[in-house]
Amino acid sequence: MRIGAGLARGGTRRKAARHKQAVGILDGSRRGRMAGMLRRARRILLDAATVLSLVLCVATAALWVRSHQQGDRWARLQYVPRVGNYWQQVISHWGVVVWAAEEPQRRIYEEGGPGLGWHHLAWEAAPGNPVIPKLLWRPTRLEQWGFAYHRERQIELEALGDWPIVPHDVFAAPYWFIVTLFAVAPALAATRWSRGCKSRKRSRQGRCLACGYDLRGTPERCPECGATAPAAKFREPR
Ligand SMILES: [Zn+2]
């Protein structure tokens, strides 16, 4: 066991020497500088994406809370010449977000009907509000959980009074799912950060970075887990 571990470490040392050589060749070369720049650029992009994800996570969580107080429909009526008009809309209601887009249809709205452009509609939220079921005509088991995807091809302009059935696509997802998705990257970053804090603290206290064992007696190598510098690095407290 010990011999095996020693051999493994010997192998690691040889590998480290080869690595040092390779780095030495690259050092100062254009390729080395490029690699460093790419690493930094990648780091910055990842950090920016993490911050964006955190902002979206908080914003979605706020909309989630709002969706239980008030239903919202943001809809845009657009017109395609000689084809007709169509709605694109996002509905937020009772923990679910729905996105729906219709195919353009020849529909005549009475005077005073909805004009082209954006429309916002709000209503008091309630679990039994019929807006969502009306948009999701064919309930499936997934829709109990707030998920839906439909590609409706049927046309029934008179079907539901103010809500005619026209060919459309519908996506729906529950807020908990979206908030969880946006929370993944910030949670990973927080874990990395707290690990960094832990190892800095261990380094200050003269403990093994790998296992936390007190190394003040044996600064070169951890007697508990066998880690050598830099894992077992011990800095004298100033
Ligand atoms: Zn250790």
**Is residue 102 included in any domain, yes or no?**
yes
Kindly give the distance from the C-alpha atom of residue 195 to the centroid of ligand 1, in angstroms, as a whole number. 15
Classify residue 63: in a domain, yes or no. no
Position of tokens 């003040």? 216
Weakest-pLDDT range from 155-164, 172-181, 193-202, 220-229: 155-164
Confidence band for 17, pLDDT divided at 50, 70 and 90: low
Distance from the CA of 65 to the center of ligand 1, in angstroms? Answer: 46
What pLDDT is recorded for position 108?
66
If you measure from the C-alpha of residue 151 to the centroid of ligand 1, how many angstroms do you get, rounded to a whole number?
A: 58
Determine contact, residues 5/226, Cβ cutoff 8 Å. Answer: yes
CA of 16 to the centre of ligand 1 (A): 20
CA 46 / ligand 1 centre spacing (Å): 31
CB atoms within 10 A of CB 208: 24
Q: Please report, to the nearest 10 degrees, the dihedral formed by the alpha carbons of residues 32, 36, 39, 45 taken in order.
A: -130
Distance 12 CA to ligand 1 centre (A): 17
Measured in Å, residue 231 CA sits from the centre of ligand 1 at: 8
In a domain, 47, yes or no: no
Place of tokens 């008009």: 85
Does residue 134 register a pLDDT over 60? Answer: no
- Determine the distance separating the centroid of ligand 1 and the alpha carbon of 222, expressed in angstroms: 5
Q: Is the pLDDT of residue 138 over 70?
A: no
Residue 10: pLDDT over 60: no
Domain with 89, as residue range(s), is 68-179
Smallest CA-to-CA distance from 58 within 190, 187, 174, 179 is with 179
In a domain, 17, yes or no: no
pLDDT band at 82 (very low <50, low <70, confident <90, very high): confident
The answer to whether the bond into 167 is cis (omega within 30° of 0) is: no
Residue 1 placed within a domain: no
Indicate the number of domains in the chain: 1
Distance from the alpha carbon of residue 206 to the mean position of ligand 1, in angstroms: 11
Assigned domain for 125 exists? yes
Q: Quick check: is 29 in a domain?
A: no
Spacing, Cα 7 to ligand 1 middle (Å): 19
Q: How many angstroms does the Cα of residue 215 sit away from the middle of ligand 1?
A: 8
- Coil, helix or strand for 194? helix
* pLDDT on residue 5: 45
Q: Considering the domain boundaries, does residue 72 fall inside one?
A: yes
Average pLDDT value for residue range 171-194: 94
In the numeric block, which tokens belong to residue 80?
């395609």
